Amino acid sequence: MKRAFLFPGQGSQTVGMGKDIYEKYEEAKKVYDEASKISGIDIKKLCFEGPEEELNKTENTQIAILTTSLAILEVLKSKGIEAEIACGLSLGEYCALIYSGIISFEDGIKLIKKRGYYMGNLIPNEEYLMAAVIGLDVTKIEEICNELRDSGNFVVPANYNCSTQTVVSGVKEAVEIAIEKLKIAGARRVIPLNTSGPFHTEKLIKAKEAYEKELENVTFNLKESNVKVIKNIDGTYYNSSDNIKEILAKHIISSVRFDKAIKLMQEENVEEYVEIGPGRTLTGFVRKDNKEAKTYNINSLESLEKYLEEENI
């Protein structure tokens, strides 16, 4: 059976995430402890106790979600559960890269600490907003965003989540105008999101430039991986000829193409999709475009043990 691991991105965090798994499994405990030691952040406290305001800061959110997903992953690996394909949404791609061995655990923790800090702090001092557009053709969304940008209102598609959902991002006033236009154009729903920055847009160019310097200090092992990892920027697999440092830096200012990742996994005849980490967003996207998909979410001790039971482990 062909299995894919999916790793969530920012927005899936909740205070208390991972605590029950940490308390039962030594493998999970070791991941939290090691990540805290490497980063110099008390990640257990951040994840298990919050407060929510601190957990929701981009510089904290990214490393908290990464660590939680990796802790659950380590338990699955200890039970012999593996996947041939891995992908994530934005920061979730780093979980996939660590799982595949393309990035070491230590380098992944260090990179996400810096990435979260730069994405949370190196942005122009403006008010920003992101909104999920549901039930409107993506060409129409792009058309409206282009028209607004041509008139000086900064708003762009940032996340192509699936065929029926696209997230737009930009300056708050421009996104608010876009929301009304998208509704008039026939969007079934347009939902403002609780996010703190114009992620995956050119407004983060300074964050990208700072992050490029961090990437220079890291060694990547593209040739040694047996796991196929899907790139967010174009929905294709990483290959040995890729300039991964350039791709990961560009990732910060480029749209996330999870819709293309879903399509590629369908073409690869993936039978089982396992979302590892807080929330259940990614399997929801998969099911929108692949009604027959067999999906699992592992985000708690209960869901983990239920999955292991179904796998006869």
**Given 12, 36, 90, 255, the catalytic residue:** 90
User: What would the mean pLDDT of 39-61 be, rounded to a whole number?
Assistant: 96
Which pLDDT score is estimated for 196? 66
Confidence class for position 34, pLDDT limits 50, 70, 90: very high
Is it the case that residue 41 has pLDDT exceeding 80? yes
Q: In what order do the strands lie in the sheet with 256-257?
A: 189-193, 128-134, 165-171, 155-162, 256-257
pLDDT digits (tens, 9 = 90+) for 244-303: 999 999 999 999 999 999 999 999 999 999 999 999 999 999 999 999 999 999 999 999
Q: Which residues contact 94 (CB under 8 A, 6 or more apart)?
A: 7, 66, 88, 103, 108, 111, 112
Which pLDDT score is estimated for 194? 73
Is it the case that residue 305 has pLDDT exceeding 70? yes
pLDDT digits (tens, 9 = 90+) for 82-131: 999 999 999 999 999 999 999 999 999 999 999 999 999 999 999 999 99
- For residues 269 and 277, the answer to whether their CB atoms sit within 8 Å is no
User: What would the mean pLDDT of 158-165 be, rounded to a whole number?
Assistant: 96
Which pLDDT score is estimated for 197? 80
Which pLDDT score is estimated for 283? 97
User: What would the mean pLDDT of 128-141 be, rounded to a whole number?
Assistant: 96
Q: What is the CA radius of gyration of the chain?
A: 19
Is it the case that residue 207 has pLDDT exceeding 90? yes
pLDDT digits (tens, 9 = 90+) for 222-242: 887 889 999 999 999 999 999
DSSP class of residue 270 equals -
Start-end of H helices in the chain: 19-24, 26-39, 43-49, 52-55, 58-78, 92-100, 105-121, 138-150, 172-184, 205-215, 244-251, 258-267, 281-289, 301-310
Name the residue ranges covered by the structural domains of the chain: 3-122+203-310, 128-196
Average of per-residue pLDDT values in the chain:
96
User: What would the mean pLDDT of 13-20 be, rounded to a whole number?
Assistant: 97
Pick the CATH number of 128-196 from 2.40.440.10, 3.30.70.250, 3.30.160.60, 1.20.1740.10: 3.30.70.250
Q: List Cα–Cα distances, 266 to 8, 18, 242, in angstroms.
A: 19, 30, 23
Which pLDDT score is estimated for 3? 98
Is it the case that residue 195 has pLDDT exceeding 80? no
Which pLDDT score is estimated for 78? 97
**Given 200, 225, 251, 255, the catalytic residue:** 200
CATH number, domain 3-122+203-310: 3.40.366.10
Active site residue 200: yes
Token output for 100: 């595949």
Active site residue 90: yes
Q: Do domains 3-122+203-310 and 128-196 have the same CATH topology?
A: no
Token output for 243: 């300039």
